[in-house]
Every structure is written in C-alpha cells, then in structure tokens.
Structure 1
C-alpha cells in the first residue's frame, strides 16, 4: 500500500482507536471508567436514616458506610458495562471519545469482565454483611441498570423512569439496611425530586445538542424540549407539594423546640427548587452535582435546609 493509500485509509476511519494499553494505564482507566465524580450521588444512602433521626449510632454509621461502598461497586459495574457497549458511539462524541474505553485505554473485553465481576460482588457482599432485603435491592438495581444499558434507554419515558428509580433506590437502601420504615412522603418527595433533576438534565442536553451531530443519547432526537420542560416542571411541583405535606403532617410537629423547624424547612426546600429551576430553564442543568457545587447561592440554601431539617430531627 502506498503512503497516499495509507493516508486515505486513516481518513476513512476517523474514530479508529490508536491508544496503546499499558500496564499502568489500565488500572487508572478502570478507575476513571468507574466515574469517581459520580460517587457523590451515592451519598443519598444517608437520606432515610437521616430523615428518621437514626444516623449517628455506631451501628448506623457502619451500615451507611457499608451500603455506600456497595452501591459504589454496583454503579461502577454499570458504568463499565455501559461504556463497553457504547464504545463505538462514544468515539463519535466530542467529549465522550476521551473516555478510557472509547479511547482504547481500557479494552472492551476487560471492561465487560470487570463490570460483570463487580455486578456479582456487590449483591453477594450485601447478602453476607447486611440483610437479604439490601441484597435484593442491590440486585434489582444492577439488573434494572443493565437492562437500561441494553435496551430500556431507547424507550421513551421508560428511560427517565429507570434513571429516576436508580436515585430512589439509593435513597431507600440506607433505611432498608437498618430496618427503618420508609415514609410515603419521603418516597414521593425523593422520587419526584429525582425526576425533576433527571428531566432537567435531559432538557439541558437536548438544548445543547440541538442541531448538532454526534449525540450518543438517541432519544434526545425523539423528545421535544417542550415535553422535557413539562416533565421537569411537573416533577418539581409534585416534589414541593409532597415535601410540604410531609412537613405539615401531624407527626412532624416538634415537641421541644420553640420554632417549628420542620415546617420552616419548607421555605428553604422551595427556594432550592426554584434556584435549581433557573439552571434547568437556561438549559445548563447538566450534572446535578456540578450545579449544586458551582452555584454558591444554591449551596448556601442547601446548607440552610440541612440545618433546619437537622434541628427538626433532633427536636423530635
């Protein structure tokens, strides 16, 4: 083959993987594929114990740290398998082509093998170190997320439901591990709050990718921005209503405090939703953790809400 022919062959394969796998680069690539920045989402495992005021005993803290680690293993398994399946599509994306699997730093078979091992390990450890319900919940999470990777992410509305349910499971598992009954208002608020952030993220992606090629999330071409706007607005409204009902229910009235902290926390919660909606409306609510950490006002509102709710739990 002449030099000109070789050059033409390269031009015909613009997304060809050229990066050579190295012994030191493989572990680093696997770690990057496990998305350390996303692990902050697993902090939701403290939600149920914190809401019930049962977070600060040694047993509770040990179990919460354990389920955090288990959920991190489970989510890492999903990320590895997802990136292995999407490697070709990711190479056509201006940002995702730098992911270790798409870039060739982690071979696709290695990503599949590591993901399968972690997917089996997390529920097994949960069964041995926690309780059967925790293991069942983790197993359901892994199965649902793998189904999402294979086919459900291509089904309208179902894709939003699956991602939202993943957040809800994170919020539930701490209570399940500790045997804490889960309030119906807690579940509704958490579920629709998660749907609000998930649909706001999809809306932002749709706005940013409008008219551009190389979108790896195929459903963005099927959803309209008007529909996604409707979903996040509806979810925000239901989450606020459920939280207010939760705060105002008879069992939520403080008995020893001079101020009704649980009821006052409604103000901070509503302000947080309204502030987050600013970014959703602009189409810049990409990653929830980035929005919260980068916006000082939203971070302050969140801390005020945490303080108020914490005082309500202590008073109760």
Structure 2
C-alpha cells in the first residue's frame, strides 16, 4: 500500500518532464565553469531543487485539474484523477516539499531563492488561471524556461554568459509550446475545448504561422549569438553548431506536422533517436569549442 502510494506520488511529480530543468545548467556550461567543482556542485543542487519544485507544481496542478482530467483520454489515468492517489495525501506532500525546498534555495543564494519563488508562484497562477488565456499561456511557459536559466546564473559568479541565450531560450520555448498546442488540437479535434479550454482560442492555421515565425526567429537569434556574442572563439567556430540547431528544429516540426506527435515534447526528447543524436552532437560540439579553444 505504501509503495503503491509512493509510486503514485512520483508519477504525479512527472520525472520525465524534469529534463526541462537542464536549462539551469546553461550558465555553468556557457560560462566555461563546467570543470569548476564548487560552481558545478551549486548548479547541481539548483537543478535538483528545480526538479522538486516542478514536482510540487505538478501535484498542485493535478489537484486543481482532477475533475477535467477524468474526461481526458490519457489524463484520466493520472494517479489523482483515477483515485490512486488521494487528494489530501497529494496536497500534504506538495506542501511539505515547498517547506523544505525554499529554505534550501535561499541558503544557496538569495537571488536563486527569489527566482525559484517567482517560478513557483508563476506556475501556480498558470495552473489556476493563466493557462486558459491563448498566447499568454505559452509566454508563461517560456518565462519558466528563462527563469531556469536565470536561476543557474544566480548560483555562480558569471563572467562570460551572453544575454543572447535568454533570447534563444525564450524563442525555443515558444516554438516547442506552439508545436505542443498544434499536436493537442490535431489529436483532440472537436473535443479539444472540452479537454483543454485554451485550445478554443487557437486554430491550426494560426499555430502553423506562429510556428513558422518563432522557428525562423530561433534560428536567426542562435546564429547571431554564434558570431556576435562576446567571449566566443575568435575564429567563429560556434557557427559550426548552427546545422545541429537547424536540423533539431526541422525534426521537431516534422514530428509535429507529419508524424502527428508533439503533444508531449518530453516524450519525443526521450524516445526520438534522430532528435537525441542531434542534441548529443550539438552538446559535444559546444563542449569541444568552449573548453578546448581560446576565447576572444
């Protein structure tokens, strides 16, 4: 009984979605501090705290959405919606997590504690109200990614981190968000509004145009970063990583529009081999360029 409850709690906290919190590591990698053990340790702790607070947010979200989830073809199987996890147990666990996480966050850094607080409150507002407002719902999701990056910056003594990466993060998050909404709208068809109210404010043509705009902007912003950001290799080798970004964006677009996937971007990240290989090669290229070649 206890083990089944623990499994239900872990499932509700959505560990598969914690891959998003890898954005906390951006400052550590792009500021060339990956080999600096104190900075790496603080960033790792920050990553863990973001994972835990994300889990608490998902618990609160599922409590608020329990009734609606019971009418969704997939979400009805979630532990709270299905009744496998009692709401009082879920609520108590989420509150306990919050009471543990925030003192640790402020102990790491006051700035990090404030950023994590902003992330938590923003996501609660999103779960309760903002997720029902078209466009704003995706801007809030993008803000969550930017806060993750900012959280990583607040944990270390930054010297070389470029503001361009905030722009790229925002655009990439919007791109994935529009793709997710398109996949949901296509999958649920006429039943879309019954399962996610915000989908009533979107149409496939609008989403396709938005995806085109944001994907193009993401590629341009990343390209500008690779040859105009300070403290990059003087020979502009970072431009060699552009093809990986281009392929990754086109691959995700292919999965959304041709394969009909994309409703769960985290699942694509964990299951689509070409996308995984692209991200791996991009990561290797970035590490080689940043850690073996003199900067400007």
Q: Which has the larger radius of gyration?
A: 1
Question: Could you list the runs of 5+ residues in structure 1 that have no partner in the other structure?
Answer: 1-21
Instruction: Provide the aligned C-alpha RMSD in A.
Output: 1.8
SS at match of 1:210: helix
8 Å contact from structure 1 (residues 253, 260) kept in 2: yes
The corresponding residue for 1:286 is 263
SS at match of 2:114: helix
Distance of 1:23 and 1:267 partners within structure 2: 49
The corresponding residue for 2:114 is 136
* Cα 1:266/1:138, change in 2 over 3 Å: same
- From 271, 282, 288, the counterpart of 1:305: 282
* Aligned 1:181-220 pairs, distance under 5 A: 182-212=161-191, 215-220=194-199
8 Å contact from structure 1 (residues 261, 308) kept in 2: no
8 Å contact from structure 1 (residues 260, 312) kept in 2: no
Tell me the CA shift for residue 60 of structure 1. 1.7
8 Å contact from structure 2 (residues 14, 58) kept in 1: yes
The corresponding residue for 2:242 is 266
The corresponding residue for 1:64 is 43
The corresponding residue for 1:163 is 141
Q: Deviations over 1:196-219 (max 9, x none)?
A: 111111111111111236843111
* Cα 1:250/1:64, change in 2 over 3 Å: closer
8 Å contact from structure 1 (residues 51, 313) kept in 2: yes
SS at match of 1:94: coil
8 Å contact from structure 1 (residues 271, 301) kept in 2: yes
* Aligned 1:98-113 pairs, distance under 5 A: 98-113=77-92
Distance of 1:201 and 1:72 partners within structure 2: 21
TM-score of the two chains, using structure 2 as the length reference: 0.92
Distance of 1:260 and 1:213 partners within structure 2: 46
Question: Could you list the runs of 5+ residues in structure 2 that have no partner in the other structure?
Answer: none
SS at match of 1:81: helix
Distance of 1:175 and 1:44 partners within structure 2: 10
Aligned residues: 291
SS at match of 1:92: coil
Q: Deviations over 1:103-150 (max 9, x none)?
A: 11211122222222223332221112x110000000000000001111
- From 126, 143, 152, the counterpart of 1:148: 126
* Cα 1:250/1:153, change in 2 over 3 Å: closer
Tell me the CA shift for residue 250 of structure 1. 6.1
The corresponding residue for 2:218 is 239
SS at match of 1:276: helix
8 Å contact from structure 2 (residues 162, 229) kept in 1: no
Tell me the CA shift for residue 183 of structure 1. 1.9
Distance of 1:271 and 1:82 partners within structure 2: 34
Distance of 2:2 and 2:133 partners within structure 1: 39
The corresponding residue for 2:200 is 221
8 Å contact from structure 2 (residues 226, 236) kept in 1: no
